[in-house]
């Protein structure tokens, strides 16, 4: 079984988005008012070559996001808090073909959440079953979704995802889960916090696990230190997710991979597990 980290461009965000300052509404405002940008971060999606079919986790961003007018100028986040740099060849479709995988051969696409840099490449997967959490689909849809910053007017017209309700089946420290593969080696987990319904995918591979954790944190160190990001809508849920990830790493050697950590690709290549002793 192969797992590929696919970088679909880069994104520049504010330092207070990476690590929050303040609480509640104030922390959201602090992100926008922050004048300090981090260096551009990678935007990773993942492809799992599994015997039961290829599984893509997140679709990365589209090159159209770099075009003027793609995002509404009236929305403060897109105006003041985000800079995207994506070329057409960096989109997930061409990159999958470079790996010898046709997008039409993908069996499942699992969206950890519906933020634009995770769902911008949806148009490459017509006819593929796309899995989305119920909570995230509800907050991202319609006019209210656009007001919250979800550019759902750019979703493909055919987009009709399979809604995921996780079963009350424990997976290690996680009280809910959903087995995706018949072999039981790929499982969807709840990673709530960054968004209300964020999901992750854990792949059991021999003597270790690989956790594809969306935006549970912007890098591994922040998760281990229990430091939250600016967008997390529910601080308690985000902290609980961090604690569960650390508990999982203490039980099973776990490679922790998130979408914007510059070390993600190297950590995957080296199968570098999380230092559970720090958890």
Distance from C-alpha of 15 to C-alpha of 10, rounded to nearest angstrom? 15
131-154 pLDDT tens trace: 999 999 999 999 999 999 999 999
Tokens 């017509």 map to which residue?
126
204 and 248 Cβ atoms separated by less than 8 Å = no
CATH of domain 2-278: 3.60.15.10
Summarised one tens digit per residue, pLDDT across range 6-45 is: 999 999 999 999 999 988 888 888 888 899 999 999 999 9
In the chain, what are the domain boundaries? 2-278
**CB under 8 Å to 20, separation ≥6 — which residues?**
27, 30, 31, 227, 228, 229, 230, 232
- Predicted TM-score (pTM) of the model is 0.96
Q: What is the pLDDT of residue 279?
A: 58
> Which tens digit of pLDDT belongs to each residue from 231-247?
998 999 999 999 999 99
Model confidence band, residue 260 (pLDDT cutoffs 50, 70, 90): very high
- In the block, tokens 């039961």 appear at 52
Q: Cα–Cα distance between 208 and 185 in angstroms, integer?
A: 11
Region 173-184: mean pLDDT is 97
Distance CA 55, CA 108 (A): 5
1, 127, 276, 277 from 206: Cα distances, Å: 10, 32, 18, 21
Beta bridge partners of residue 225, listed in sequence order = none
């Amino acid at each position: 079984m192969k797992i590929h980290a696919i970088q679909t461009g880069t994104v520049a965000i504010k330092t207070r988005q990476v690590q929050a300052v303040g609480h509640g509404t104030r922390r959201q405002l602090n992100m926008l008012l922050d004048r300090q940008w981090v260096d551009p971060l990678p935007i990773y999606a993942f492809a799992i070559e599994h015997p039961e079919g290829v599984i893509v986790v997140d679709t990365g961003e589209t090159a159209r996001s770099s075009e003027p007018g793609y995002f509404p100028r009236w929305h403060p986040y897109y105006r003041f808090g985000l800079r995207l740099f994506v070329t057409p060849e960096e989109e997930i479709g061409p990159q999958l073909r470079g790996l010898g995988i046709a997008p039409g051969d993908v069996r499942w696409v699992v969206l950890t959440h519906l933020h634009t840099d995770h769902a911008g490449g949806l148009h490459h997967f017509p006819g593929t079953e796309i899995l989305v959490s119920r909570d995230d689909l509800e907050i991202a849809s319609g006019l209210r979704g656009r007001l919250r910053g979800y550019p759902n007017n750019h979703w493909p017209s055919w987009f009709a995802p399979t809604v995921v309700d996780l079963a009350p089946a424990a997976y290690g420290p996680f009280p809910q889960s959903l087995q995706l593969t018949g072999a039981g080696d790929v499982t969807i987990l709840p990673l709530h916090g960054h968004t209300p319904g964020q999901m992750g995918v854990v792949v059991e591979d021999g003597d270790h696990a690989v956790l594809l954790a969306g935006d549970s944190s912007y890098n591994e160190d922040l998760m281990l230190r229990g430091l939250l990001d600016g967008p997390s809508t529910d601080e308690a849920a985000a902290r609980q997710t961090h604690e569960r990830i650390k508990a999982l790493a203490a039980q099973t050697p776990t490679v922790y991979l998130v979408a914007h950590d510059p070390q993600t690709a190297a950590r995957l290549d080296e199968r570098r597990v999380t230092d559970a002793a720090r958890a």
